[in-house]
Amino acid sequence: MLSNKSLILIALLVIFTSLGAFSITDNYFGSRYPAFDARSMAMGGAGVFNDMRPAGFVQNPANLTAQKSFAGLHFTSMINRAEDTRMIPLYNSFDNYIDDAVYASNINAFTQFAGAGFATIGLADLRFGVGAYHLPVLSFDGIYTEEIRNNRNTDDDGYPEKIAQNDIKHEGSLYKTGMALSMAYGLSEYVDFNLGIDFGMMNADVKQETTIRWSDWSLQQVADGVVLPEYTRTADWDLEGDQLKLGAAFRVGPRFGIGMTYIPETTLTRKGTDFSYREAYRNTPMDSTWVSLDSDYELPSELRVGFTYYPRNIMRTVFSMDLEMVDYSKSMDFLDPVYNFYAGVEHHVVNRIPLRLGFQAVNGYHIDMENTIDGDGNDITLYTANKILSPMITGGSSVQIAKNIVLDLGFGYAWREYEALDLFGDAYYNDKIYTGSNSYTLWPNQYINLQNRGWENPDKVKENFITLNAGLSFSW
Amino acid sequence: MKKLFLMLFALWCIGFLAAKVDLNTASLQELKQLPITEAQARDIYEYRIFVKIFDSIFDLREIPSIDQRTLDSLRPLVVVSIYTETDEVSIRRQEIRDFIERLDSNEGASEGMADIWQDYLMTPQNVNRMHFDDFISLPNVSAVDAVAILKRVARGDTISDTRDLRNTPGLSYYGYTNLRNYVYYREAPVKNRIMMDAQMQYYTRLYEEGQYDMLHEAFVPKSFGNNWVNVPHDKRNSYWGYFNIDQVQPDMMFKLRMRYGNNLKAGIMHHSPKANSGLLFSSDDYGTDRDIIANSKYYAGYENTNLPWLDNTALKLYLGHYRATYGEGLVMENTDFYSARKTGFGFSKRIMGITPDLSRTQQYALRGAAIEIKNPRFGVSFFVSDDEKDALAYINPDGSYVMRDDFGNDVFTDENGQYFIENNVRRYTYDDGSDVFADKRKLFGYVNPTLPYDNDTMMEAEAIFNDVLNPTPGPGQSYVPFAMPYINLATRKDAMREKLWGTHLQVSPFIGTRLGFTTYTALYDNAHLVVPSYNELLPLVIRDSYYYTKLQKTLNSEVSNMYSTQTDSYSRDYRRVIGFDAGTVIGNTSIQGEYAELSVDGEDHKLGDDPKAYLVSAHTQFENLYFLTLFRNYDVDFENPYSNSFSEHERFDDTILEKNIYALTNPSISDIFQNSNQSQPERGVYFETRYKFNNYFTVGRSYLDLWERLSDGRRTARFQSELEFRPLYQLGLRLRYKNQVNRYDDLADRGVSKTNEYTIAVRTFLSNRNFLELEYRYNTVLSPPYTSLTNPAEPGNNSHAAAMTLMTGDYIGVNYTHNFSSSLKMQGSFIYWYGHGISHWDWEDMEIDFMGEKGAKAWVAFSSRISNNMYMNLKFRNKTYQDRELRIRQNNDPNHSNLSDQLTYFDRVERSENAIRLSLDYRF
């Protein structure tokens, strides 16, 4: 049994860590949370059949009556460290693309919480259960800062002057508060069939802000009366709607459990405003656009099947593996369904202290938007969708705090690499446009050609995510 | 009366025992009847189900909820019956599990040999009925070992058990220890039954350095020629940028093998390489439909080592994909994978004859039917294959194939029909008035492409590249200045239909002595292979004549000597290779060799008038010492894609295909080298030995190789030796030294290069088979001042005068293996290296990694035995490094005019690569 001091430390850990995701890239579909249950997360997120933790029913409502316990509570917190690194292509002296050079790197941390509870009752061979939960489903969080500097003074080990600062700040998560019902029919001690249904109410309050601010130094460099225009875009929107999930879990003996869930395509309503503003400069009037948002927001359907295997092993062992199909094609017709894979193993190394290892390969879409002209010279918006794989390696363990209380810890490291268009086109910082001069005021090197980079020289984006998940389970 | 009491007492005892609960057989309900809580009963039951069968009642104390008092109260009420595993498959699997893991970890480039050996571990062969080839196909079993056993069996003796095998006169200790797990004596440990093996691997594999550079190479350098064509930097001008290969993409493999004992076998394997979409997608990222079966490998076969109607005769019959390997691999050993110094001894083995093939070999896979019959005196095999092979093709500007007629003319098509060009005039008829006609594609040769895309996808990419090379004139323009030639050579999937037949005959007049004849003929239905001579080759593969002189010093005769089916002297539609192999055993020495000839200008049935290759080796073994001497000589024009013999380097190494990718008309031509499987033309002598003095000192595998590269006459001496000193069982010290000297006769030209490599490693062998090793390596290379390697580090240009340059590099690493238990093992390694132009290498858990200029690498792998028949391996690796190009840029003038249009100069230019691999293996 742990001391009071240890319990306080654990409580603090649970409170100050949280579920998180975490990228400025996924600003339409958001980032999916790796797993709600810390044990499942340590096993790669696999656990569509999960009879070990009260949180199992959040993944699959049929797990509710498959639980070994009759009632349980679960609290989870997660902290996510997201590193976003952006690079530009670099060419060698033969003018061949050889690699990429980092120009901006952002590291941020995000936290989230979730909780769930359930109770079951048995009547002869039947068992009924009810559960409730609150958890974040998608994250729209993301923070990004990029400094625009010239290269003056670098030869003398001095800092180059800062011309402007670009910021992106996204806040908000899609939360789901729901209830699950499940019914089990037991044929014997280790054979039962569970069917569950889950109904959740979803809502999100998302704020997205993008700004370009010139530095004091830049403002001092230009003549009085010259305006270096600042830019602000603010989007503020809500999502609201309901989601249904169906689940089945079959325990087909002491060694095998098979699970399956299906979430039909979910339509949420998206309401809010999108406002962008650029100051007037020289001979150009200000640009102020206000758009009212009122549209449907489609979440893709998901089908997930998997199994859990309990072999005989000198170190007690559990192995879980899931396969999931997320059908984005219903949400946007130019997208394809993607297949995700989750696998993990738990070994009780010594004194029931488990070592968990896992792997997941999750695919998502990054959609880039580009304003261009078509063959007839008309303005068009071109969408580019890149399917992006995010592999993740996971690990974790747990501590039995008291007879009915377990603290699970899960760790995950994921990364992804892809091409994306430059977030802030370089042409904006061409001060000749604003001063009317033939030479740069803010840039010492007159050779520099400040133009927007398109897909001929896109950014290479490398992101990595370190996720720590702590879950406290009470079961009776 | 007394008897009655005794009887009653006996009945009481039986009743008493019967009333006791057997912990190993009791149901959960029965356990719940014991005076313990329901939770304790469940814990006992689950311990038995999920942890282990009880060996004794005291095992109950392993269960946290059972304390000593509970155990004492249970003692009179329970018994533990003796449990023995009765399933012979489970027993056998337990016996061989460490060997299976070792084979898995040695699988390396996935030649598929581990599958065959694992099958023989599971269902061994009868040592008293095995043939010579069966023995020498096993790892670390030599021809001398095979003869020792065969002679004993031939005398009518029957080897009855392992100890008996050890007493076989002439059988070496190494041969015995490696052989004993693959054989049985009287009764097979596992009776025939259906066995299956399902494997899956998910790997975010990275391209090797050469492939990486090839895919990054741009089609239009801005500084093309001396014209300074103003083409903007555009990442999409390379395959890498066009196909967005930056994205993390998996390499996936699924394999299912089934067999009934060693008799009936079947299997299927699907490999989806990186940059493909994977098994679960019906179309790839570019919308092209994929046929999963056509892209898979499969086989079904029958084997019988003792035919009922022919005594001591074995039969193999396979349909689908199979491998064929004979002699020293000069005529036929089909694989996509090259491995240096493949001697055929020790662990560098060949599996002789016909074997099923589910390896990742795709290009040189044989698909068809194969049969093999052999007895101790005579063996014959015959195989046919019909498959479409990928090739480097001559293409028109629109991407279509250049066609070829039977007279050696390139034939084109326009609205008037087919024509060829003669004296710059289009000719629609031949001189005799007949129509120009051609239905065969003009191909350069076999190639195993790095990119897995189909032809339509590649053609779309080439159209984009062509548009940059030779842009459409703009409005008001009639021509584009400095337009460059169109892409004229490109890889094409399934470009060549190859119908192949071959045979191998072998006679064995005495035990261990065999004479063999091998031949195969590959018929090309729809293609002509045309490789021009050196002068015509230059404009074909090199985009700009500016580079011609530069490249004259590189050895390109290997390229110009590739096999053609159409030359000035003949026109045919096949490639034929014939060869003889022989071997014998004299005392403790085995001598073997093979001679092969590729039919070109000479007569088919006459030896010595065509390009040839031969190899002879002698292997002498003692109890703790062996010597191997090997001589090989491969002609430059002996180009046989189905050979895989001993050599130091793969074919096309050091040619323009490796060294000058930037000068090629299409960077992907370099694939001929990048994925080469053949040996480089060499003539040389190789010596190898290993000697264990005693338990303290061992001279590990040491070799000296003296050879000449025949394409350019470069002579090389390479020596490597290893000394292991183990003063204590727990401590080992390993010293390794490698020296290589390359020399040209023309000293005024490329001169001499000398490489030295010194390695010291300290190993500690901890308890529970844990293992910790510290390793340090130091290298020096003395060589002429190649600009690409030895560019001075000071800012400025590279015009410093230099005679010879001494480069140094080093490497430090730590390796650790920890066994948590027999079910869970962790291996890890951390390495830091600084190469300065010297390439370092590192053997990871099951693959070799070549490391570039300067960096650090860490990897960790967990091997989990989930159950007795299910295994999982999870590996994560991070490698962060700088390559040569970037380092040179950093150390040179950042204000160079070539950099003027870049916004700034970046300090942090390095690659950081993550890779993750998950393997699952389920046997049932």
Domain at A339, CATH number: 2.40.160.60
**pLDDT value at position B3?**
60
Say yes or no: B27 and B121 in one domain.
Answer: no
Cα–Cα distance measured from residue A302 to residue A328, given in angstroms and rounded to the nearest whole number: 9
CA-nearest of B874, B883, B872 to B909 is B883
Element (H, E) at B915: strand B911-923
Q: Which of B49, B204, B906 sits opposite A101 (nearest CB)?
A: B906
Is residue A406 within 8 angstroms of chain B, CB to CB?
no
> Closest by alpha carbon to B197, among B256, B272, B267?
B256
CA-nearest residue to B862 within chain A is A357
In angstroms, the separation between the Cα of residue B775 and the nearest Cα of chain A is 28
Q: Test A357 with B862 for CB contact under 8 angstroms.
A: yes
Q: Which residue of B has its CA nearest to A310?
A: B50
B753: in domain: no
Give the gap in angstroms from C-alpha A224 to the nearest C-alpha of chain B: 27
Cβ(A418)–Cβ(A388) under 8 Å?
A: yes
Q: Please answer yes or no on whether B285 and A387 come within 8 Å at the CB atom.
A: yes
In a domain? residue B100: yes
CB of B507 closer than 8 Å to CB of B377: yes
Q: Where are the beta strands (DSSP E) in A140-229?
A: 142-149, 162-171, 173-188, 191-214
Same domain, B110 and B185: yes
Mean predicted lDDT score pLDDT of chain B: 83
Q: How far apart are CA B718 and CA B737, in angstroms?
A: 11
| CA nearest to A379, candidates A387, A370, A366 | A370
| One domain for residues B125 and B69 | no
Question: Do residue B866 and residue A345 have CB atoms under 8 angstroms apart?
Answer: yes
Helix (H, G, I), strand (E, B) or coil at B709: strand
Residues of chain A with C-beta less than 8 angstroms from the C-beta of B916: 359, 391, 393
3-state class (DSSP) for residue B530: coil
Digit-by-digit pLDDT tens for chain A (476 residues) are: 444 554 444 443 333 333 233 556 655 677 777 777 899 999 999 989 998 888 889 999 999 998 888 899 999 998 888 899 898 887 765 666 777 888 888 998 888 899 999 999 988 889 999 999 999 988 888 899 999 888 676 666 667 788 999 999 988 989 999 999 999 998 888 899 999 999 999 999 999 899 999 999 999 999 888 999 999 999 999 999 999 999 999 999 889 999 999 999 999 999 999 999 999 998 889 989 898 989 888 888 999 999 999 998 888 899 999 999 998 887 777 788 888 999 999 998 876 789 999 999 988 888 777 777 777 777 777 777 778 888 999 999 998 888 889 999 999 999 988 888 888 888 899 999 999 998 889 888 777 778 888 888 888 898 989 999 999 999 88
Nearest chain A Cα to B877, which residue? A393
Task: Report the greatest alpha carbon distance in chain B.
Answer: 130
B906 & B807 share domain: yes
**Tokens standing for B629?**
């001497």
C-alpha–C-alpha distance, residues A88 and A454, integer Å: 11
Q: With the CA atoms of B331, B335, B339 and B344 taken in that order, what torsion angle do they form, in degrees rounded to the nearest 10? A: -50
Domain count, chain A: 1
Average pLDDT value for residue range B689-694: 90
> Other CB atoms closer than 10 Å to residue A405's CB: what's the count?
16
Alpha carbon of B660: minimum distance to chain A alpha carbons (Å): 12
Rg (CA), chain B: 32
Six-digit token string for B218: 């741009």
Pick left, alpha or beta for residue B261 (phi over 0 → left; psi -120 to 50 → alpha; otherwise beta): left
In single-letter form, the type of residue at position B651 comes to: R
Predicted pLDDT of residue A345: 93
Q: Is residue B61 part of a domain?
A: yes
Where among B164, B191, B218 does a domain terminate?
B191
Q: Is residue B812 assigned to a domain?
A: yes
Rounded to an integer, what is the distance from CA A95 to the centroid of its chain?
Answer: 37
- Mention every residue, 6+ apart, whose C-beta is less than 8 A from residue A276: A231, A232, A233, A234, A287, A288, A289
Looking at residue B224, what is its pLDDT? 47
The reply to whether B70 and B138 lie within a common domain is: no
Give the phi and the psi of residue B483 in degrees, each rounded to 5. -65, 145
Question: Into how many domains does chain B fold?
Answer: 3
- DSSP β-bridge partners for residue B697: B725
Domain range for residue A259? 4-475
The position carrying tokens 């590099």 is B809
B47 lies in a domain?
yes
Q: Residue A374 class from Cβ within 10 Å (0-12 exposed, 13-18 middle, 19+ buried)? A: exposed
CB contact under 8 A, A98 and B823: no
Both B20 and B148 in one domain: the answer is no
Task: Tell if the CB–CB gap between A389 and B250 is shorter than 8 Å.
Answer: yes
For residue A154, the chain B residues in CB contact (below 8 A) are 904-905
Mind listing the pLDDT tens digit for each residue in B395-448? 988 888 999 988 888 888 887 888 888 888 888 888 888 888 888 999 999 999
Does the distance separating the beta carbons of B250 and A447 come in below 8 Å?
A: no
Q: Using CB atoms, pick whichever of B218, B246, B248 lies closest to residue A391.
A: B248
What is chain A's Cα-based Rg?
26
Tell me the nearest-neighbour CA distance from B55 into chain A, angstroms: 13
Q: Which single residue is written with the structure tokens 């039954």?
A: B193
Give the residue carrying structure tokens 């842009």.
Answer: B471
* B139, B158, B191 - which closes a domain: B191
Q: Which residue of B has its CA nearest to A94?
A: B221
Termini Cα distance of chain B: 58
User: Is B883 in Cβ contact with A418 (below 8 Å)?
Assistant: no
Q: Residue for token digits 């003996």?
A: A253
Instruction: List % helix, strand, coil for chain B (3-state, nearest 5).
Output: 20, 40, 40
Q: Which amino acid is at B90?
A: S
Are B802 and B889 found together in one domain? yes
CA distance A306 to A261: 9
The span from the CA of A2 to the CA of A336, in Å, is 50
User: Does any domain span residue B365?
Assistant: no
Q: What's the angle, vertex CA A384, arms to CA A383 and CA A388, rounded to 5?
A: 140
- How many C-beta atoms surround the C-beta of residue A135 within 10 A? 21
A317 with B866: Cβ contact below 8 A = yes
Of the candidates B254, B256, B253, B252, the residue with the CA atom closest to the CA atom of residue B198: B256
- Min Cα distance A70 → chain B (Å) is 14
| Nearest residue, CB atoms, B51 vs list A316, A345, A464 | A316
CA atoms of A407 and A65, how far apart (whole Å): 22
> What residues of chain A, 419 to 458, have a C-beta less than 8 Å from chain B?
419, 426, 445, 447-449, 455-458
Task: Find all residues with CB under 8 Å of B120, minimum gap 6, and list them.
Answer: B138, B182, B262
Q: Per the CB < 8 Å rule, is B866 touching A319?
A: yes
Are residues B865 and A313, on separate chains, in Cβ contact within 8 Å? Answer: yes
CA angle B47, A322, A263 (to 5 degrees): 125
Q: Residue A40, Cα to own-chain centre: how many angstroms? A: 17
> What b-and-e string marks burial along B806-823, b requiring 16 or more CB atoms within 10 Å of the CB?
ebebbbebebbbbbbeeb
Cβ neighbourhood burial of B453 (10 Å; 0-12, 13-18, 19+): buried
B42 and B148, same structural domain?
Answer: no
Q: Which of B69, B4, B1 is nearest to B36 (CA)?
A: B69
Find out whether B712 and B558 touch, Cβ atoms under 8 Å: no
Q: For residue A432, what is the enclosing H or E element?
A: helix A432-435
Give the gap in angstroms from C-alpha B866 to the nearest C-alpha of chain A. Answer: 7
Helices B113-122 and B88-105, interaxial angle, to 10°? 150
Domain that holds residue B28: 15-79
pLDDT digits over B276-328, tens only?
Answer: 554 444 445 444 455 677 788 999 999 988 788 777 888 999 999 999 999 99
Query: pLDDT band at residue B7, thresholds of 50, 70 and 90?
Result: low
Which of B231, B246, B909 has the CB atom closest to A90's CB atom?
Answer: B909
Q: Does A465 touch chain B (CB under 8 A)?
A: no
DSSP track, A220-283: HHSPTT-----EEEEEEEEEEEEEEEEEEEEEESSSEEEEEEEE--EEEEEEEEEEEEE--BTT
Chain B contact probe: residue of A155, A163, A313 with most B CBs at under 10 A: A313
Residues 179-218 of A with CB under 8 A from B: 189
pLDDT at B197 over 80: yes
Q: What does pTM read for this prediction?
A: 0.85
Distance from the Cα of A99 to chain B's closest Cα (Å) equals 8
Closest CA to A318 of A46, A75, A38, A33: A46
B330 close to B617: Cβ distance less than 8 angstroms = no
CA distance B759 to chain A (A): 32
Complex prediction ipTM = 0.82
The enclosing domain of B44 has a CATH number of 1.10.150.320
Q: Residue A301 and residue B390: Cα distance in Å, rounded? A: 40
In this complex, which of B235, B876, B903 lies closest to A97 when CB atoms are compared? B235
Which chain B residues are closer than 8 Å to A457 by Cβ? 233-235
DSSP output for A42-82: HTTT--SS--SSTTHHHH-TTHHHH-SSSEEEEEEEEEEEE
What pairs with residue B353 in β-bridges?
A: B325
Q: Flag if B864 and A347 touch (Cβ within 8 Å).
A: yes
Contacts of B885 in chain A (CB under 8 A): 92, 98-99
Question: Looking at the partner chain, which of A254, A316, A339 has a beta carbon nearest the beta carbon of B280?
Answer: A339
Contact B333, B326 (CB under 8 A): yes
Closest listed residue to residue A151, CA positions, set A442, A409, A347: A442
Residue B97 shares a structural domain with residue B169: yes
B238 SS3 class: coil
pLDDT value, residue A12: 37
CA distances from A132 to A119, A129, A135 (A): 9, 10, 10
Q: Report d(CA B573, CA B906) in Å as an integer.
A: 55
Q: Which of B43, B59, B79 marks a domain boundary? A: B79
Look at B851 and B386; give whichever has higher pLDDT: B386
Partner-chain residue, chosen from A101, A313, A361, that has the shortest CB–CB distance to B867? A313
Beta-carbon neighbour count of residue A420 at 10 Å? 19
Residue that the structure tokens 């990222």 belong to: B285
Q: Are residues B68 and B126 in the same domain?
A: no
Number of A to B CB contacts under 8 A, please give it.
200
Q: What is the average pLDDT across B337-352?
A: 87
For B902, nearest residue in chain A (alpha carbons): A448
Whether the CB-CB separation of B356 and B321 falls below 8 Å is answered with: yes
- The residue of chain A nearest to residue B865, with distances taken between CA atoms, is A313
Which residues from chain A sit within 8 angstroms of residue B912, using beta carbons? Answer: 462
Determine, yes or no, domain membership for B710. Answer: no
Residue B217 in domain: no
Among B262, B142, B280, residue whose Cα is nearest residue B202: B280
Count CB neighbours of B474 within 10 A: 7
Confidence of residue B356 (pLDDT cuts 50, 70, 90): very high
Please tell me the distance in Å from B902's CA to the nearest CA on chain A.
7
Q: Do B812 and B871 have their domain in common?
A: yes
**pLDDT at residue B900, rounded to an integer:** 43
Is the pLDDT higher at B652 or at A31? B652
Mean pLDDT computed over B875-894: 66
Chain A residues 26-55 with a CB less than 8 Å from chain B: none
Provide DSSP, A300-317: PEEEEEEEEE----SS-E
Same-domain check for residues B52 and B161:
no
Contacts of B464 in chain A (CB under 8 A): none
Residue B899 confidence (pLDDT): 43
Q: Are A344 and B83 spatial neighbours (Cβ–Cβ below 8 Å)? A: no
B886 — pLDDT class (breaks 50, 70, 90): low
Other beta carbons less than 10 A from residue B594's beta carbon: 25
Shortest alpha-carbon distance between residue B200 and chain A (Å)? 12
Nearest CA in chain B to A426: B903
Q: Per DSSP, what are the bridge partners of residue B497?
A: B388
